[in-house]
Amino acid sequence: MSFFPGRAWQSSMWRLAGLLLGGVIVGHAALGSAWIGIALVALAVVAWHYLRLWRVLRLLRERRRLVAPIGRGVWGELESLLYRRQRESLVRKRRLAAILRVYRQVAAAVPDGAVVLDRQALAIVWFNNAAERLLALRYPRDLGARFTNLLRTPRVLEWINGPDRLEPLLDLGVPGNDSVRLSLRLIAYTDQQWLLVVRDISHLMRLEQVRRDFVANVSHELRTPLTVIHGYLDLIEPDDNPEWAPIILQMRSQTERMAQIVEDLLMLSRLEEQHRLSDETVVMSSLLPTLQREAQALSRGKHTITINDEAHCNLSGSLKELHSAFSNLVSNAVRYTPDGGTITLRWQRCDDGGATLSVTDTGVGIPAQHIPRITERFYRVSSSRSRDSGGTGLGLSIVKHVLARHHAQLLIESEVGVGSRFTCVFAASSVRETP
Ligand X SMILES: Nc1ncnc2c1ncn2[C@@H]1O[C@H](COP(=O)(O)OP(=O)(O)OP(=O)(O)O)[C@@H](O)[C@H]1O
- Which residue, 13 or 418, is less far from ligand X as judged by CB? 418
Spatial CA neighbour of 374 closest among 428, 348, 413, 418:
413
For 313-333, letters b (16+ CB in 10 Å) and e give bbbbbbeebbbbbbbbbbbbb
Q: How far is the CB of 427 from ligand X (least distance, A)?
A: 24
Does 392 contact ligand X by CB under 6 A? yes
Q: How far is the CB of 265 from Mg ion (least distance, A)?
A: 14
Q: How far is the CB of 353 from ligand X (least distance, A)?
A: 28
Does 342 contact ligand X by CB under 6 A? no
Q: Which of 41, 169, 182, 333 binds ligand X (CB under 6 A)?
A: 333
Site string for ligand X, 411-430 (x = CB under 6 A): ---------x----------
Does 264 contact ligand X by CB under 6 A? yes
- What span, in angstroms and rounded, lies between the C-alpha atoms of 379 and 398? 12
Report phi then psi at 171, rounded to 5. 55, 55
Spatial CA neighbour of 357 closest among 411, 402, 432:
411
Q: How far is the CB of 350 from ligand X (least distance, A)?
A: 22
Cα dihedral: 136, 141, 143, 149 (round 10): -60
**By CB under 5 A, how many residues form the interface with Mg ion?**
2
- What span, in angstroms and rounded, lies between the C-alpha atoms of 359 and 343? 7
- Which residue, 305 or 374, is less far from ligand X as judged by CB? 374
Site string for Mg ion, 274-313 (x = CB under 5 A): ----------------------------------------
- Which residue, 12 or 332, is less far from Mg ion as judged by CB? 332
Q: Which of 12, 314, 386, 430 binds ligand X (CB under 6 A)?
A: 386
Does 374 contact ligand X by CB under 6 A? yes
Among ligand X, Mg ion, none, residue 355 binds (CB under 5-8 Å by kind): none
Segment interacting with ligand X (CB under 6 A) among 26-34, 60-68, 208-216, 379-387: 379-387
Does 269 contact ligand X by CB under 6 A? no
Q: Of residues 322-351, which lie at the interface with Mg ion (CB under 5 A)?
A: 332
Does 423 contact Mg ion by CB under 5 A? no
Does 363 contact ligand X by CB under 6 A? yes
Does 395 contact Mg ion by CB under 5 A? yes
Does 380 contact ligand X by CB under 6 A? yes
Q: How far is the CB of 410 from ligand X (least distance, A)?
A: 11
- Residues in contact with ligand X by CB under 6 A are 264, 328, 332-333, 336, 361, 363-366, 374, 380-381, 385-386, 391-396, 420
- Residues in contact with Mg ion by CB under 5 A are 332, 395
